[in-house]
Structure 1
Amino acid sequence: MADITAPELKQRLQAGETPTIIDVRETWENEESRIDGSQNIPLGSLPDKLDELEELKDQEIIVHCKSGGRSASAKAFLTQQGFTNVRNLLGGMQGYQQS
């Protein structure tokens, strides 16, 4: 699945859509700034949370971090685990805040 841009995500949220958004930054980063409706699962904790995410295997999941690096790793990991519709937020939280 193609990645998603910050303006595209903002437009969808403003239109009332509620995609599954996972923030893979550390908890302290999430406490400083977050995208409304996102859930915080730090990248290192992702393997431990797979059971909780199982029902989302075929649904769209948008992952983000500060700039896009950690979320790219999260996307690769989830895809390897059989998730079929994982999208990385290009530019991460920095791009989201600037758009």
Structure 2
Amino acid sequence: MSTTPAPAPSLTPAVLHRLVQEGRAPRLLDVRTPGEFRTAHIPGSYNVPLDTLREHRAELLTHLDEDVVLVCRSGQRAAQAEKALAEAGLPDLRVLEGGIVAWETAGAPLDRGPERWDMERQVRLVAGSVVLATGLAGIFLPGAHLLGTAIGAGLTYAALSNSCAMGVLLSKLPYNRGPRTDIRTVIAELRSTP
């Protein structure tokens, strides 16, 4: 019998905002893509995309303490990052409850860059477009609708497994990558701040 690990404790945007204002901010690791990070991020946060974090978690561990809050758009990728870091030996991490969406809704400050569509919106566009196109094509090409059915099955699986293969694929596009996150730069930044 396997037990599912308890989810990481969350930190509400209000509590985190108060800590930031009091000068007691924890280290904020934003695990979204560089493109998403450039669009809007919490001032003082470090961008360590989820794939980079997973690949270099052992290197990151030596530069992180237990006062770390993981941030993403809504909390899902941050929870995956928490699991990866916990497996590598860094317990007691926290996840920003509701992610950047909740932070912004709470009226907390964001550093903004060029506007981009977030990953969830991109997935909805691609999935919806494929379903629409194959539905219309099915009128003339028997069986074309099956591609739309496969997309629907993939989205159902994504919801049940809390993963998104389409999001992973879209994150690889140049639009979402932005400047490549260099782990040496991230580690140097982590070293230079108390």
Scaled by the length of structure 2, the TM-score of the pair is 0.48
Q: What per-residue deviation string (whole Å, max 9, x for no partner) do you get for residues 56-97 of structure 1?
A: 2x4211001001110011111111111022101010000000
* Equivalent position of 2:54 in the other structure: 47
State yes or no: 1:3 paired with 2:10.
yes
How far apart in 2 are the matches of 1:52 and 1:9?
22
Shift of 1:29: 0.4
Counterparts in 2 of 1:1-99, with a 5 A limit? 2-50=9-57, 51-56=59-64, 58-99=65-106
**Structure 1 residue runs of 4+, over 4 Å off?**
none
| Distance of 1:93 and 1:86 partners within structure 2 | 17
1:52 Cα deviation after fit = 3.2
Residues 28, 71 of structure 2: 8 Å contact kept: yes
Q: Which has the higher contact order (CA 8 A, sep 6+)?
A: 1
Ranges in structure 1 where 5+ consecutive residues have no aligned partner: none
The AA in structure 1 aligned to 2:70 is V
Q: Provide the C-alpha distance between the structure 2 equivalents of 1:18 and 1:90, rounded to a whole number of angstroms.
A: 16
Aligned-residue Cα RMSD (Å) equals 1.3
Structure 2: stretches of 5+ with no match in the other structure: 1-7, 107-194
Q: Partner letter of residue 31 of structure 1?
A: R
Aligned-residue sequence identity (percent) comes to: 32
Q: Quick check: which one's helix share is greater?
A: 2
Aligned residues: 98
Q: How far apart, CA to CA, are the structure 2 residues paired with 1:55 and 1:43?
A: 17
Structure 1 or 2, whichever has the larger Rg, is 2
